[in-house]
């Protein structure tokens, strides 16, 4: 065999890009699987609700606890709510939420579609003229793109609530002061852009997982590998995409306070 890992990687990446193009070529065409889209939104949304709530609460409390000591040392404890809001809304909330969801949904989607492939269920859809790409891929990708920003807003809110609870216990801060301090440094565009970018993270998780599931060959071992690769691949791509999006948003909208 003369193929190298680099060649394999480029070949896989090329196939993934073609799969993405297929999505953009198909998602606006009939048939529209509205009911399946709603079912997938429920699968992504309501079933991730507890997970993102716990994640948000823990992020908020831990960040407040960790930052308080440092801020006190510099006599800047008053900026804690503001610092929490900026870091949670602009970066920690979106990225942590996307990574947590990549773990849950990437593995789930990769394994589910992979199992359907090896048990010929996708072929069964194909021969019945039921357009499996629309039914399985388009619905999952759109569901993730819609639900990731909503879950991120929820996680951000719970994280801020966690930060407030920690601050209340540690310094007895009034909630009105906490809220006004927290949001005075945030711009509306920060919330829109940094929450909106999770739609791209949702796209990445769903398209990578669907792609790997759709192309499983073999049996249960390969299905497991596809699920694992879906989590690893989508997590890495989320981190890379974040760097690009942050760089672009800084170029376009400028830094905080500018």
Closest CB to another protein among residues 19, 201: 19
Q: Phi and psi of 55, rounded to 5°? A: -60, -50
Q: Is 215 in the site for another protein (CB under 8 A)?
A: no
Which parts of 127-186 interact with another protein (CB under 8 A)? 127-130
Interatomic CA distance for residues 196 and 174, integer angstroms? 31
Which CB sits closer to another protein, 58 or 121?
121
Using the rule CB under 8 A, is 1 a contact of another protein?
no
**Alpha helix stretches (DSSP H) within the chain:** 5-26, 34-45, 49-73, 80-87, 93-101, 107-118, 121-127, 132, 139-171, 175-184, 188-214, 220-253
Q: Pick from 120, 180, 239, 254: which binds another protein (CB under 8 A)?
A: 120
CA distance 50 to 142: 21
Q: Name the helix (H) or strand (E) containing 54.
A: helix 49-73
Instruction: Give the total of residues touching another protein (CB under 8 A).
Output: 13
Segment interacting with another protein (CB under 8 A) among 92-100, 112-120, 185-193, 233-241: 112-120
126 lies in the binding site for another protein (CB under 8 A) = yes
The tally of CA atoms less than 13 A away on the side-chain side of residue 55 is: 24
120: left (phi over 0), alpha (psi -120 to 50) or beta: left
Q: Which is nearer to another protein, 180 or 220 (CB)?
A: 220
**What part of residues 10-39 is at the interface with another protein (CB under 8 A)?**
31
Single out the segment in contact with another protein by CB under 8 A; choices: 61-69, 116-124, 157-165, 168-176: 116-124
For residues 144 and 153, what is the distance between their CA atoms, to the nearest angstrom?
14
Of the pair 91, 123, the CB lying nearest another protein is at: 123
Q: 51 or 125, CB closer to another protein?
A: 125
Footprint on this chain of another protein (rule: CB under 8 A): 31, 115-116, 119-121, 123-124, 126-130
């Amino acid at each position: 065999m003369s193929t190298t890992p680099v060649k394999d990687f480029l070949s896989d990446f090329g196939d993934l890009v073609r799969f993405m193009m297929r999505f953009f070529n198909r998602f606006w065409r009939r048939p529209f699987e509205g009911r399946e889209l709603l079912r997938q939104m429920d699968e992504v949304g309501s079933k991730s609700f507890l997970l993102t709530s716990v994640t948000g609460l823990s992020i908020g409390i831990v960040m407040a606890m960790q930052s308080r000591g440092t801020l006190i040392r510099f006599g800047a404890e008053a900026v804690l709510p503001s610092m929490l809001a900026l870091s949670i809304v602009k970066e920690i909330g979106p990225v942590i939420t996307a990574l947590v969801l990549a773990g849950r949904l990437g593995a789930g989607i990769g394994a589910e579609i992979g199992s359907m492939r090896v048990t010929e269920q996708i072929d069964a859809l194909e021969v019945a003229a039921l357009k499996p790409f629309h039914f399985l891929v388009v619905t999952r990708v759109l569901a993730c793109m819609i639900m990731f920003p909503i879950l991120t807003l929820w996680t951000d809110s719970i994280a801020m609530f966690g930060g407030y609870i920690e601050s209340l216990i540690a310094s007895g801060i009034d909630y009105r002061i906490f809220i006004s301090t927290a949001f005075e440094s945030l711009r509306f565009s920060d919330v829109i852009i940094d929450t909106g970018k999770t739609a791209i993270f949702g796209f990445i998780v769903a398209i990578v997982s669907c792609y790997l599931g759709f192309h499983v060959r073999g049996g249960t071992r390969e299905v497991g590998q596809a699920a694992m690769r879906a989590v690893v691949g989508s997590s890495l791509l989320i981190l890379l995409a974040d760097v690009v999006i942050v760089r672009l948003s800084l170029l376009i909208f400028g830094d905080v306070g500018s």
